[in-house]
Amino acid sequence: MSHESSYTPNSGFERWMDERLPIIRLGADFLSFPTPRNLNYLWTFGGILTFCLMTQIITGVVLAMHYVPNDKLAFDSIEHIMRDVPWGWLIQPIHMVGASMFFFAVYIHMFRGLYFGSYKAPREILWILGMLIYALMMATAFMGYSLRWGQMSFWGVTVITGLFGTLDEVIKGLGTFVLQTILGGYSVNGATLNRLFSLHYLLPFAIAGLVVLHIWALHVSGNNNPTGLSVKKDSDTVPFHPYMTAKDAFSLSVFILVFAWFVFYVPGYLADPINNEQANALKTPAEISPEWYFRPYYAILRSIPNKLYGVIFFALSIVLWFFVPWLDTSRVRSAKYRPAYRWCFWLFVVSFIGLTYLGGKPPEGWYVFWSRIFSIYYFAYFIVVLPLLGLIETPLPMPNSITESVLGKLGGGGGSGLPQGATALAEKR
């Protein structure tokens, strides 16, 4: 869907600008971008994520003005921000709670894409850019968490960097070499903290760059929508402004209310209280577990008794997401018309939430048992369900167009044996 520019400069200045740097045209075209008329509130999370990224960057830059990346001073410098720096009591919790809100929004955004088949042609690159953003978000959040230099930060870094040590089992000495290079020493130390701080400051800007590409790709393919049907005629779309801007503004307001509730009433609710204790290399906490948004992967890592295989499956559990556009063989995008897939999808959501819960529990007894069950389904979803179900499932009849779906008139199957929307997708390929 390429969008013809409908902008005409209204003043002498606009004409002058338009011939030199058509940035006003860019903004105007953005606002008039045709969006499917049936987008629901799940399509507001992209805007919410943009807000989250900006909030993290702004609060983070201010925090960095007062934070000291030194292993003797880091913990106290955050106490200093909270107690002495003007507005520090507000900026620090916004940044900390903001990380959780960011991940909450990104999971809704990703699972929305998974449900409505937003990764299918022609949106594969859009999806891959999204996954790259997600991978960088995880790296950034991990590094940011370590900066507090509390007990859980320190031991979390020790455990996660320690995973590189398993490379020794592949090539002798390689793991030790990589590990010591990353740490800048034999164990987590002040040099490690410096590296983590430097990269934690850098990566959000790389994420911002990827977001620009992500939105560019979106503007080439156009939005998917709850029916998964491609846009066919003008009546299928409405301009982004005021229709989506109004929806985005409402959704963002509700999101900010929830965000503010956490910041003002329970800022530490999602964090581990052990992290309020300064890092101590001589005292390992009884349980080491990451923040909630990493726990599904952590549960997978721990559910495998062999360390090397644990690391391999841990990495695979993230890498598989990148390949979803090619793993899914169905010609129908939206789960709305895929009854069997819907069940598999919700089972995947249950497994993901189950793993999130179990990743915060000690690795023993029933916790391990259920981690294994959910992990098996997690991988089966990618490797078995997505490729096979698309080949054997009979989709439900689909409307002929987005407009028809909104007006509630169902069209026939089109005689090809495939629902009409599926035919359209097959033609596009």
Which of 223, 303, 334, 401 is the binder for ligand HEM (CB under 6 A)? 223
Q: Rounded to the nearest whole angstrom, what is the least distance from the CB of residue 90 to ligand HEM in the complex?
A: 23
Told to check if 335 binds ligand HEM by CB under 6 A, we report no
Closest CA to 231 of 401, 30, 55, 61: 401
Please say which residue, 119 or 374, places its beta carbon nearer to ligand HEM: 119
Q: What gap in Å lies between CA 27 and CA 67, rounded to an integer?
A: 37
Asked if 356 contacts 296 with a C-beta cutoff of 8 angstroms, the reply is yes
Between 185 and 214, how does the x/- string for binding to ligand HEM read (CB under 6 A)?
Answer: ----------------------x---x--x
Please say which residue, 211 or 274, places its beta carbon nearer to ligand HEM: 211
The answer for residues whose C-beta is within 8 angstroms of residue 286's C-beta and 6 or more apart is none
Told to check if 331 binds ligand HEM by CB under 6 A, we report no
Told to check if 251 binds ligand HEM by CB under 6 A, we report no
Which of 91, 94, 131, 358 is the binder for ligand HEM (CB under 6 A)? 131
- Which tokens belong to 84? 């002495």
ω into residue 122 within 30 of 0, thus cis? yes
Please say which residue, 52 or 78, places its beta carbon nearer to ligand HEM: 52
Told to check if 215 binds ligand HEM by CB under 6 A, we report yes
Told to check if 298 binds ligand HEM by CB under 6 A, we report no
Q: What gap in Å lies between CA 96 and CA 148, rounded to an integer?
A: 10
Closest CA to 104 of 136, 137, 129: 137
Which of 28, 46, 352, 370 is the binder for ligand HEM (CB under 6 A)? 46
Told to check if 60 binds ligand HEM by CB under 6 A, we report no
The answer for residues whose C-beta is within 8 angstroms of residue 427's C-beta and 6 or more apart is none
Per-residue burial over 97-118, b = 16 or more CB atoms within 10 Å of its CB, e = otherwise: bbbbbbbbbbbbbbbbbbbbbb
ω into residue 242 within 30 of 0, thus cis? yes
| Whole-number Cα distances in Å, 259 to 40, 161, 170, 249 | 21, 31, 45, 15
**What residues between 224 and 243 interact with ligand HEM by CB under 6 A?**
224
Please say which residue, 150 or 421, places its beta carbon nearer to ligand HEM: 421
Please say which residue, 109 or 148, places its beta carbon nearer to ligand HEM: 109
Told to check if 123 binds ligand HEM by CB under 6 A, we report yes
Told to check if 49 binds ligand HEM by CB under 6 A, we report yes
For 219, other C-beta atoms within 10 Å of its C-beta total 16
Between 76 and 115, how does the x/- string for binding to ligand HEM read (CB under 6 A)?
Answer: ------------------------------x--xx--x--
Please say which residue, 113 or 296, places its beta carbon nearer to ligand HEM: 113
Which of 53, 63, 229, 418 is the binder for ligand HEM (CB under 6 A)? 53
Stretch touching ligand HEM by CB under 6 A, among 9-17, 88-96, 121-129, 383-391: 121-129
Closest CA to 70 of 257, 279, 350: 279
User: Alpha helix locations (H) across 240-338?
Assistant: 245-265, 295-303, 307-322, 324-327
Told to check if 55 binds ligand HEM by CB under 6 A, we report no
Q: Rounded to the nearest whole angstrom, what is the least distance from the CB of residue 133 to ligand HEM in the complex?
A: 5
| Whole-number Cα distances in Å, 64 to 67, 228, 354 | 5, 44, 36
Closest CA to 276 of 139, 78, 143: 78
Told to check if 127 binds ligand HEM by CB under 6 A, we report yes
Stretch touching ligand HEM by CB under 6 A, among 49-57, 89-97, 197-205, 365-373: 49-57
Give the binding-site size for ligand HEM (rule: CB under 6 A).
28
- Which tokens belong to 358? 């179990």
Contacting positions for ligand HEM (CB under 6 A): 43, 45-47, 49-50, 53, 106, 109-110, 113, 116, 118-119, 123, 126-127, 130-131, 133-134, 207, 211, 214-215, 218, 223-224
